[in-house]
C-alpha cells in the first residue's frame, strides 16, 4: 500500500507539469504520455448507494433526488442508523451517539423504508413556476420552429382556404397554444429579526455539519433521519485521444478492472530502498534506490541525475542498465550479483538496487530534493501488444519509442 | 520505501506447513474454529477469539502485536448470536487494533490503534487511518480512505491499491526471516 511503501516521498512529473506520486498517475498507451487526475477526463460510470451498494440508473437517481430510499444516516454524527425492532415495529438507532428516531418524535414503523424527510415548503410553487417557464419557452420557440420547418401544421397550405380547412386549422391551433396564466407575485414579507430567531431557539445549537445535512429544517424542529446521498463511480479517459484509461468491472462493489493502464505498469517504479542517513554539508552521503520494472517487456533505461538551483547535487554518473520483465525474471536465480559495480547494490528478479552519491550544500539541508531524469525504451513487444489489441495501427508498432520521466525524491 | 528485513528468533515462533508464522506468546483461543489460509504472520500478544465463533483469515496477512480479533454480536429476535469474522487476503492490521468487524475484504490496511465496531464491513482496497474509531454496523465501499472518530470516508485510495498491497505484503513476508538463516547467508 502507498502508506506502507512510502510512495509520498517520490513525485513524478506529469505531462501537464504537476508533480504526483506514481500510484496516482495513469499512462495513455496511444499518446505515450503520463496523465494525472487533472489532465484526464472523468465521467460517471455507475451511481450507487455507498451503504447498501445498490446501483441505480441516472433517471432513477434523479427521481430519488440522488438519495437512497432505504438507508438513513444519523442527523447528529452522520453515521449509520441501525434498525431495532420492538413489538413487531421498528425504529432507527445510532450506535455511536445513541440518537434514535423516537427522539425526533417519529412513531415506530412497520418497515425500515420510507422514513419522512423535510420537504421544501415551496416545492409546489416551484413546480408551478417551472411549468410556467416551460410554457413560455414553447411560445417563444414557436416562430423559430416555424422557420426551420419543423411544424407541418404551419405550412402555406392554410393561406388558401379552398376546402374550409383554414377554420379547422385555426380551431386546432387555438387548442394547441398552451395556456398562459402568469403566477401572482409574492407580497413582500418582513424579514425576521435576530431577536425573533433567537426566541424560539432550543438550547442546543446545531453544528455546521448538521445544518448542511438538513438545510431545510428549522431550529425549532427536531432533526429527522438523513437519507444517504448516492455516489458516482468514475471512468477515466485520456483528454487528448479520449481512450479509456481506467474502467471498473461490471458490478458496483467490484475492485477489479476491465481496462486499466496505471503508470506503474509502464514507467519504471523508483523507491527509496533504505532510509537516508543524516545529511552533512559538503560530505558525500549515499541514497539507496530500487528500480522495479512492472511492465510486460524488458526495459532499457538510463538514469541521469539532474542538477538545478533548488536540488541537491549528485556526483554519480548517469547509469545505464537493462531491467528484465517480471515474467522472464521469474526463471532467473534470485539475488545474483550480476554486475560487480559499486553503483549497483543488488539485482533481484525485475528489481535493481542502486546507490547514488549526493553532496548537500548549506541551502539544501532544509528541504533536500534529488532530481532525476529517466529515459527508457522497451524492446518493442509493448507496442506489438498494443497493436494486437488494436490500440495502435500496425505500421506504428515495432517502433521503439524513447520515453522519459522526471522525478523528485524528498530526502527528508 | 522498500520494507526492511525483519529478523525473528526461531525459538519464539512456530511455523506451519502452509507457511503461517505465529509467535508463541499469543492469546489465541478456540484454535479448532480458526482457519488461516497461509503465509500469514501473527505477532506477539495477538488475541483471536475462536472460542466464540469461526474466524477465517486469508493468505499473506500480517497481524501486528497486541491486536484483538473477536467475532461480532448480532441481536436477532430469538436470541443474540455471535457471527463469524472473515478477513480477506493481503490484509495488514497494525499494532493495538481492536477488530470487532463482521467482514474485512481483501487488500485492506488498518492503521495502528484503530477500533472497528460491532459488525462493520470494510470493502476491498480501503485504508483505515491510525486512531480511527469505526462505529457499529458501518459499511464502507471499496477504495475509501477512512478516518476520524466517528469514522467517515475522507478520501479515495489510488486505483492500483490492489497491486501495491500485494507487493507490500509479499515483500513483508519475504523479508521476515529467522535470525540463524540470516547470519548464515551473510
DSSP, residue by residue, B36-68: EEES-EE-TT-EEETTTS-EEEEET-EE-TT-E
Please indicate, yes or no, if residue B131 is contained in any of the structural domains. Answer: yes
CB contact under 8 A, B158 and A2: yes
CB contact set of A143 (below 8 Å; sequence gap of 6+): none
Q: Where in chain A is the domain with CATH 2.60.40.10?
A: 268-410
Please indicate, yes or no, if residue B1 is contained in any of the structural domains. Answer: no
What does the longest C-alpha to C-alpha distance in chain B come to? 62
In angstroms, how far is the first alpha carbon of chain A from the final one? Answer: 21
Question: Of B142, B157, B168, which is closest to A5 when you measure between CB atoms?
Answer: B168
How does strand B13-15 pair with strand A26-28?
A: unpaired
Q: CB contact, 8 Å: B110 with chain A?
A: no
CB contact set of A25 (below 8 Å; sequence gap of 6+): A12, A14, A34, A35, A36, A262, A263, A264, A267
User: CA-to-CA distance for A288 and A343, rounded, in angstroms?
Assistant: 10
Question: Of B1, B123, B172, which is closest to A275 when you measure between CB atoms?
Answer: B1
pLDDT recorded at residue A336: 43
Count how many Cα atoms sit within 13 Å of the Cα of residue A350 in the half-sphere of its side chain: 21
Which residues of A, range 257-316, sit inside 8 Å of B by Cβ? 257, 260, 262, 264-265, 271-275, 290, 294
Query: Which uninterrupted H or E stretch holds A171?
Result: helix A165-176
Q: What is the pLDDT of residues A234-289, one digit of tens each?
A: 899 998 888 899 999 888 888 899 988 888 888 888 988 888 877 778 788 888 88
Torsion over CA of B45, B51, B52 and B57, rounded to 10 degrees? 60
Question: Of B1, B159, B172, which is closest to A246 when you measure between CB atoms?
Answer: B159
Residue B100 is part of a domain; what is its CATH number? 2.160.10.10
Give the C-alpha distances (Å, rounded to integers) separating A352 from A268, A289, A293, A374, B10. Answer: 11, 8, 9, 14, 30
Interface test with chain B among A2, A4, A5, by most B beta carbons within 10 Å: A4
CB contact under 8 A, B138 and A79: yes
Please indicate, yes or no, if residue B141 is contained in any of the structural domains. Answer: yes
User: CA-to-CA distance for A217 and A116, rounded, in angstroms?
Assistant: 12
- Which range marks the domain in which residue B117 is found? 6-185
Percentage of chain A lying above the pLDDT 70 cut: 84
- Which residues of chain A are under the pLDDT cut of 50? 333-338
User: CA-to-CA distance for A351 and A362, rounded, in angstroms?
Assistant: 34
Opening angle at CA A50, ends A47 and A55, nearest 5: 35
Question: Of B2, B111, B160, which is closest to A273 when you measure between CB atoms?
Answer: B2
Torsion over CA of B156, B162, B164 and B165, rounded to 10 degrees? 100
Q: What DSSP string describes A27-69?
A: EETTTTEEE-STTEEEEEEEEE-TTT--EE-HHHHHHTTTEEE
Which residues of A, range 221-250, sit inside 8 Å of B by Cβ? 231, 246
Please indicate, yes or no, if residue B87 is contained in any of the structural domains. Answer: yes
Give the C-alpha distances (Å, rounded to integers) separating B47 from B6, B74, B101, B118, B134. Answer: 22, 21, 14, 17, 20
Query: What's the domain count of chain B?
Result: 1
Cis peptide leading into B86, omega within 30 of 0?
Answer: no
Range B27-32, long-range pairs (CB < 8 A, 24+ positions): none
Size of interface A-B (CB pairs under 8 A): 108
Please indicate, yes or no, if residue B35 is contained in any of the structural domains. Answer: yes
CB contact set of A125 (below 8 Å; sequence gap of 6+): A183
Please indicate, yes or no, if residue B85 is contained in any of the structural domains. Answer: yes
pTM as predicted = 0.82
ipTM over cut 0.90 = no
Per-residue pLDDT of chain B (186 residues; tens, 9 = 90+): 788 888 999 899 999 999 999 999 989 999 999 999 989 999 999 999 999 999 999 999 999 999 999 999 987 777 889 999 999 999 999 999 999 988 999 999 999 999 999 999 999 999 999 999 999 989 999 999 999 988 999 999 999 899 999 999 999 999 999 987 556 555
CB contact under 8 A, A253 and B123: yes
Please indicate, yes or no, if residue B56 is contained in any of the structural domains. Answer: yes
Question: Of B1, B135, B161, which is closest to A1 when you measure between CB atoms?
Answer: B161
| Closest CA–CA distance from residue A43 to any residue of chain B (Å) | 15
How does strand B109-110 pair with strand B92-93?
A: parallel
Question: Of B141, B163, B168, which is closest to A264 when you measure between CB atoms?
Answer: B163
CB contact under 8 A, A79 and B158: no
| Chain B residue numbers touching A23 (CB-CB < 8 A) | 158, 160-161, 164
| Chain B residue numbers touching A79 (CB-CB < 8 A) | 135, 138, 150
pLDDT recorded at residue A315: 77
Q: CB contact, 8 Å: B131 with chain A?
A: no
pLDDT recorded at residue B131: 94
The CATH number of A268-410, from 3.40.50.300, 1.25.40.850, 3.55.10.10, 2.60.40.10, is: 2.60.40.10
A290 by DSSP, 3-state: which?
Answer: strand
Query: Which uninterrupted H or E stretch holds A2?
Result: none
How does strand B103-104 pair with strand A403-410?
A: unpaired
Query: Which uninterrupted H or E stretch holds B183?
Result: helix B179-185
Amino acid at each position: 500500500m502507498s502508506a506502507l511503501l512510502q510512495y509520498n516521498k517520490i513525485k513524478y512529473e506529469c505531462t501537464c507539469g504537476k508533480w504526483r506520486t506514481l500510484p496516482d498517475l495513469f499512462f495513455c498507451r496511444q499518446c505515450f504520455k503520463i496523465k494525472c487526475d487533472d489532465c484526464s477526463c472523468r465521467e460517471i460510470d455507475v451511481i450507487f448507494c455507498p451503504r447498501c451498494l445498490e446501483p441505480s440508473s441516472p433517471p432513477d437517481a434523479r427521481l430519488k433526488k440522488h438519495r437512497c430510499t432505504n438507508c438513513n444516516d444519523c442527523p447528529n454524527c452522520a453515521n449509520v442508523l441501525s434498525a431495532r425492532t420492538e413489538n413487531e415495529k421498528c425504529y432507527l438507532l445510532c450506535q455511536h451517539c445513541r440518537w434514535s428516531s423516537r427522539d425526533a418524535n417519529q412513531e415506530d414503523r412497520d418497515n425500515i423504508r420510507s422514513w419522512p424527510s423535510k420537504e421544501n415548503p415551496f416545492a409546489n410553487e416551484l413546480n408551478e413556476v417551472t411549468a410556467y417557464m416551460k410554457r413560455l419557452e414553447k411560445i417563444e420557440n414557436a416562430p423559430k420552429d416555424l422557420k426551420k420547418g419543423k411544424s407541418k401544421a404551419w405550412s402555406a397550405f392554410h393561406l388558401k382556404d379552398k376546402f374550409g380547412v383554414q377554420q379547422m386549422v385555426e380551431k386546432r391551433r387555438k387548442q394547441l397554444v398552451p395556456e398562459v396564466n402568469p403566477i401572482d407575485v409574492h407580497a413582500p414579507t418582513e424579514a425576521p429579526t435576530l431577536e425573533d430567531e433567537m426566541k424560539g431557539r432550543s438550547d442546543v445549537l446545531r453544528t455546521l455539519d448538521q445544518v448542511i445535512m438538513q438545510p431545510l429544517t428549522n431550529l425549532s424542529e427536531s432533526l429527522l433521519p438523513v437519507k444517504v446521498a448516492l455516489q458516482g463511480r468514475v471512468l477515466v479517459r485520456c483528454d487528448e485521444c479520449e481512450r479509456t484509461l481506467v474502467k471498473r468491472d461490471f458490478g458496483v462493489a467490484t475492485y477489479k478492472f476491465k481496462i486499466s493502464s496505471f503508470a506503474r505498469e509502464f514507467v519504471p517504479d523508483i523507491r527509496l530502498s533504505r532510509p537516508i542517513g543524516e545529511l552533512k554539508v559538503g560530505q558525500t552521503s549515499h541514497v539507496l534506490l530500487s528500480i522495479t520494472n512492472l511492465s510486460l517487456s524488458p526495459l532499457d533505461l538510463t538514469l541521469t541525475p539532474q542538477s538545478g538551483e533548488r536540488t541537491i547535487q549528485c556526483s554519480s554518473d548517469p547509469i545505464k542498465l537493462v531491467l528484465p520483465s517480471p515474467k522472464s525474471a521469474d526463471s532467473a536465480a534470485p539475488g545474483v550479483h550480476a554486475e560487480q559495480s559499486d553503483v549497483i547494490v543488488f539485482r533481484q528478479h525485475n528489481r535493481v538496487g542502486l546507490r547514488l552519491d549526493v553532496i548537500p550544500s548549506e541551502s539544501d539541508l532544509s528541504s533536500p530534493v534529488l532530481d532525476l531524469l529517466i529515459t527508457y525504451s522497451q524492446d518493442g513487444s509493448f507496442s506489438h501488444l498494443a497493436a494486437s489489441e488494436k490500440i495502435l495501427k500496425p505500421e506504428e508498432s515495432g517502433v521503439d519509442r524513447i520515453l522519459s520521466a522526471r522525478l523528485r525524491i524528498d530526502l527528508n | 520505501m522498500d520494507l526492511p528485513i525483519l529478523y525473528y528468533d526461531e525459538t519464539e515462533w512456530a511455523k506451519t506447513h502452509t507457511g503461517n508464522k505465529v509467535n508463541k506468546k499469543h492469546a489465541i483461543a478456540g484454535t479448532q474454529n480458526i482457519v488461516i489460509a497461509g503465509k500469514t504472520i501473527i505477532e506477539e500478544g495477538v488475541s483471536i477469539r475462536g472460542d466464540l465463533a469461526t474466524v477465517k483469515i486469508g493468505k499473506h496477512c500480517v497481524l501486528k502485536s497486541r491486536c484483538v480479533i473477536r467475532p461480532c454480536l448480532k441481536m436477532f429476535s430469538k436470541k443474540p448470536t455471535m457471527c463469524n469474522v472473515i478477513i480477506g487476503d493481503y490484509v495488514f492490521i497494525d499494532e493495538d487494533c481492536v477488530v470487532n468487524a463482521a467482514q474485512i475484504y481483501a487488500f485492506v490496511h488498518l492503521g495502528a490503534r484503530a477500533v472497528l465496531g460491532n459488525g462493520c464491513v470494510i470493502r476491498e482496497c480501503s485504508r483505515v487511518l491510525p486512531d480511527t474509531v469505526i462505529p457499529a454496523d458501518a459499511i464502507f465501499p471499496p477504495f475509501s480512505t477512512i478516518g476520524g472518530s466517528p469514522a467517515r470516508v475522507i478520501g479515495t485510495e489510488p486505483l492500483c491499491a490492489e497491486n501495491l498491497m500485494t507487493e507490500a505484503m509479499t515483500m513483508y513476508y519475504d523479508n521476515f526471516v529467522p535470525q540463524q538463516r540470516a547470519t548464515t547467508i551473510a
